[in-house]
Chain A
Amino acid sequence: MDFELSDDQRLLKDSVDKLIGTAYDDLGKRARAQAEPDGFSADLWTKYAELGLLSLPFSEEEGGFGGGTVETMIVMEAIGRGLAIEPFFASIILGGNLIRLGADAAIRQELIPGIADGSQRLAFAHTERQARYNLHDIGTHARKTANGYTLEGDKSVVLHGDSATKLIVSARTSGKRTDRDGITLFLVDPATAGVSRRGVATQDGQRAAAVSLASVQLPASAVLGEADRGADLIDSVSAIAIAALCAEAVGAMSALHELTLEYLKTRKQFGVTIGSFQVLQHRAVDMFTALEQARSMEYFAAMMATAENPRERQAAMSGAKIQINNSARFIGQSAIQMHGGIGITMAYRSGHYFKRLTMIESAFGDTDHHMRLLDQAGGLLEAA
């Protein structure tokens, strides 16, 4: 059992902590990044590329960083701590892994260099209005034509879909709306006739889009992976995504906990620091416990995200997401309460961490959803 980072991993952590820590050390910088046309700092995105972060999931043979789930965890924790708003999760974790696991040689040659240098940004257009958290509930359909496919449907809350240069769209090529089989992934240029996007800001300072597909004509070469077998790809990448979100949440929670401790030790009322009140000390301890439990499940998630056995993988990812959700809500709410009024002002970091953690809670499934999946998977303890 080894919880230590390797030298290379330590190096990665130091450089990404420094990059993001400096870029986001005050909220003014974050606000300026948000005001840029795409909703994030173009300059910082270039710096991510220079550090090799944008090629993180691709193998060294393909010119990538060769990073796995631990490297992803390291980068996502830094993003969480920094409140960074670049589309790393959307483009690299979701898009990059979908390409890595599903794309043929032609698409890889076309896209990977651009992904790595930041010129190509991907967005996964998957969620639909009726689907809630069910990853296989797809109403958008793709009808076979002489030359390829015609896509018809609507996608919701596509992360950073407004500025993406390529969309990866899930559509049904056969079967009923909630069947696992019959889902196909398509690589779509947003400039294609029939594709329209409505960008929105998000509660946590980022961007998303609603995407409409009206008789979008695609060549057969647009298929990512195997037709009708898209669910395998979606499930694999969702597991990686959940592990990544767990890490981002732990980064945010640890920063929020530190801020809260500092506040308790410096804020004076009634002639003493409020941290001298036992009630608040105990709550800070409970926050610490929740943080450490979350951290443990963050590690568990990183380890299990690529597990071979689908049932074990599902149980692990659902268990981890639930722990992270519970810790995030408790730490977020407690931090705000203990900061008093300033906890919910724009001017302090605490409120921004709280908003991001709240949005992470519902990303890729809320607690109720994962409790059901965990239950279906038979729980978390190994057989005696």
Chain B
Amino acid sequence: MDLRYTPEEIAFREEMRRFFREKIPAEIRAKGEAGHHPSKEDMVTAQRIMNAHGLAVPNWPVEWGGKDWTPMQRYIYTEELMSNHVPGALPFNVAMVGPVIAHFGTPEQKAHYLPRCANIDDWWCQGFSEPGAGSDLASLKTRAVRDGDDYVINGQKTWTTLAQYADWIFVLARTNPEARKPQEGISFILVDMKTPGITVRPIQLVDGGHEVNEVFFDDVRVPVANLIGTENRGWDCAKFLLANERSGIARVGASKANVRRVRELARTVPAGDGSVWDSETFRYKVNSVEIDLKALEITQLRVIANERARGGMPDPASSILKIKGSEIQQRITELALELAGPFALPYHDMEEEIGDGANDLPDGFDWADTVAPTYFNNRKVTIYGGSNEIQRNIIAKMVLGF
């Protein structure tokens, strides 16, 4: 047992760090550091640069652009990406539909979709949740009826992140309403967002932004060739996808960067004769979250190290990563909120053009205007990707044997 990084791993980290710092435009990374959401253009630019260097889809099979990296290398790549505030390849493309197509798709489907997916020529969104099917996803009602060489889809999806930018949507739809168990009547179907009958309606979140949408399907006709895997076996694709979604979700690198930022900023916030950093109570809270983060990091490495032994199949212990990682993310947003103090109160429209030092009317501190919206927005992290309550059920059943 040796918890130190090997010289090769250290060199690899250097290489990744250099790539992200030299090749991804500084303006994009600065935005991320200041807590602003990247624009659509930012995300496309970043992903295409990574793809041009063969670094957009390292987790994919090698034949489709993946890397034959060790789990540690994949982890280091993700860490450096997050620590350097790089937007990262679109998760719906590279962590969700891409791996599903690579695993369950026909050779023709792989050849057609995967390169476009890696290069974000197609922007994908996720058609899973419905108003009546959140935690209980298997109860979904969106219906796909076979009609000749097509499926006709009717229904409604919700919480569809960035559907307003999307070219394609992957949809879980019910193809057999008579199935014995609801999971056994679901299919995984790819749908072009330009197909007639699709309507996207934005949902405004309390932070003022529009990152999620409702997507309505009204007699949407889709070729049967867009089915991934076997009809009525779509739940296998869903489980595969959801487990992948879960293990990427601890966001250790992002949390490290965020808590580092809190430490730095605390020294600049006046309090009494000094700064907030002089407060023992505040330092105690920062140090406490860093302990949890360190432990999480090592837990993540253990899960990753175990991946090889599991033959690449998702590990139920990754639910711990999701629970702990999301709670830590939230605690850090709380620390930033406390740090901003009275200056978290002013609100600036997040969707206005953000320029350089753009808070042109700072009342307080330049960085304080994103602190409360980030805190509000991040309440979602214990809800999405399988709520933390569901994650606890998964561990209870599949790890602890209840």
A residues within 8 Å of B by Cβ?
Answer: 127, 129-134, 156-157, 178, 198, 200-204, 208, 210, 268-271, 277, 279-280, 333, 336-337, 340-341, 343-347, 351-352, 354-355, 358-359, 362-363, 366, 368, 371
Give every chain A residue within 8 A of B373 (Cβ-Cβ).
203
Q: Check if B203 sits within 8 Å of A345, measured CB to CB.
A: yes
**Interface-located stretch among B21-29, B55-63, B132-140, B305-313:** B132-140
Contact A366–B341 (Cβ < 8 Å): yes
With A156-B363, A344-B376, A355-B206 in contact, do A202 and B346 touch (Cβ < 8 Å)?
yes
A-binding segment of B141-149, B317-325, B377-385: B377-385
Q: List 30 A-B contacts (CB under 8 A).
A: A129-B343, A129-B364, A134-B272, A198-B363, A200-B346, A200-B347, A200-B361, A200-B363, A202-B347, A204-B345, A210-B361, A270-B139, A340-B387, A341-B129, A341-B158, A341-B380, A341-B383, A343-B379, A344-B206, A345-B205, A346-B204, A346-B205, A347-B203, A358-B337, A359-B344, A362-B342, A362-B345, A363-B342, A366-B338, A366-B341
Chain A residues within an 8 Å CB radius of B139: 269-271
Residue-wise, chain B 275-306 has the 8 Å CB interface mask toward A (1 for contact) of 01001011000000000000000000000000
| Residue contact A269 to B345, C-beta cutoff 8 Å | no
Provide the bound-state CA to CA distance between A178 and B341, in Å. 18
The listed residue (B133, B207, B363, B383) touching A337 by CB distance below 8 A is: B383
Which residues of A lie under 8 Å from residue B383 when comparing CB positions? Answer: 337, 340-341, 343
8 Å CB contact of B379 from A156, A201, A271, A344: A344
| CB-nearest residue of chain B to A137 | B272
- Specify which chain B residues have a CB less than 8 angstroms from the CB of A129 in the assembled complex: 270, 343, 364
A358 in contact with B363 given A269-B139, A340-B134, A366-B338 (CB within 8 Å): no
Q: Which residue in chain A gives the minimum CB-CB distance to B204?
A: A346
Bound form: Cα–Cα A125–B337 in Å = 23
B348 contacts A by Cβ under 8 Å: yes
Partner of B376, one of A202, A355, A371: A355
A345-B204 contact given A156-B342, A279-B389, CB 8 Å threshold: yes
Which residues from chain B contact A336 at a C-beta distance below 8 Å?
Answer: 379
Contacts of A340 in B (CB 8 A): 134-135, 383, 387
Residues of B within 8 A of A346 (CB): 204-206
20 more contacts with CB within 8 A, not counting A202-B347, A340-B387, A341-B212, are: A129-B270, A131-B270, A157-B342, A178-B272, A200-B346, A200-B361, A202-B345, A208-B346, A280-B389, A337-B383, A340-B134, A343-B379, A344-B376, A346-B206, A354-B376, A355-B376, A359-B344, A362-B338, A362-B345, A363-B342
Q: Give chain B residues whose Cβ lies under 8 Å from the Cβ of A355.
A: 206, 372, 376
CB contacts (< 8 Å) of B389 on chain A: these are 277, 279-280
- Summarize B's interface: helix, strand, loop or mixed: mixed
Residues of B within 8 A of A133 (CB): 341-342
Q: Beyond A202-B347, A203-B373, A344-B206, is A157–B379 a contact (Cβ under 8 Å)?
A: no
Q: Are B342 and A358 in touch, CB under 8 angstroms?
A: no
Contacts between chains A and B (CB distance < 8 A), count: 135
Among A127, A341, A362, A366: residue with most chain B CB under 10 A: A341
CA distance A129 to B363 in the complex (A): 8
Interface size class of B (residues with CB under 8 A): 35 or more
Q: How far is the CB of A276 from chain B (nearest CB, A)?
A: 13
Tell me whether A362 and B341 are in contact (CB under 8 A).
Answer: yes
Interface of B with A (CB < 8 Å)?
A: 129, 132-136, 139, 158-159, 203-207, 212, 269-273, 276, 279, 281-282, 337-338, 341-348, 361, 363-364, 372-373, 375-377, 379-380, 382-384, 387-389
Q: A132-B270, A346-B205, A347-B203 given as contacts; is B136 within 8 A of A270 (CB)?
A: yes
What is the distance, in angstroms, from A230's C-beta to the closest C-beta of chain B?
Answer: 19
What is the bound-complex CA distance between A363 and B345, given in angstroms?
9
Residues of chain A lying within 8 A (CB to CB) of residue B129: 341
Q: Nearest Cβ in chain A — how far from B269, in angstroms?
A: 8
A269 contacts B206, C-beta separation under 8 Å:
no
Q: Please give the distance in Å from B133's CB to the nearest CB on chain A.
A: 8
- Which residue of the partner chain B has the closest CB to A277? B389
Shortest distance from the beta carbon of B339 to any chain A beta carbon, whole Å: 10
Write the nearest CB–CB distance from B86 to chain A, whole angstroms: 26
Inter-subunit contact B344/A203 (CB<8 Å): yes
Q: Would A341 and B134 count as touching, CB distance under 8 A?
A: yes
Contacts of A362 in B (CB 8 A): 337-338, 341-342, 344-345
B279 touches A269 (CB 8 A): no
CB distance from B349 to the nearest CB of A (A): 8
B331 to chain A, nearest CB (A): 11
B159 & A210 in contact (Cβ 8 Å cutoff): no
* Complex contacts, A344 vs chain B, CB 8 Å: 205-207, 376-377, 379-380
Q: Which residues of B contact A277 (CB under 8 A)?
A: 389
Partner of A132, one of B212, B271, B337: B271
- The distance from the CB of B177 to the nearest CB of chain A, in whole angstroms, is 16
B1: min CB distance to chain A, Å: 36
- The answer to whether A200 and B387 touch (CB under 8 A), given A345-B203, A347-B203, A358-B376, is no
- The CA-CA distance from A202 to B345 in the complex, in Å, is 5
The reply to whether A130 and B270 contact each other, CB–CB distance below 8 Å, is: yes
The distance from the CB of A279 to the nearest CB of chain B, in whole angstroms, is: 6
Cβ-defined contact, B338 with A156, below 8 A: no
Bound Cα distance from A351 to B378, whole angstroms? 12
* Chain B contacts for A270, CB-based, 8 A: 135-136, 139
Enumerate the 6 nearest inter-chain pairs by beta-carbon distance, A residue then B residue, closest first. A351-B206, A269-B136, A210-B363, A346-B204, A200-B346, A130-B270
Rounded to whole Å, the gap between the CB of A73 and the closest CB of chain B is 23
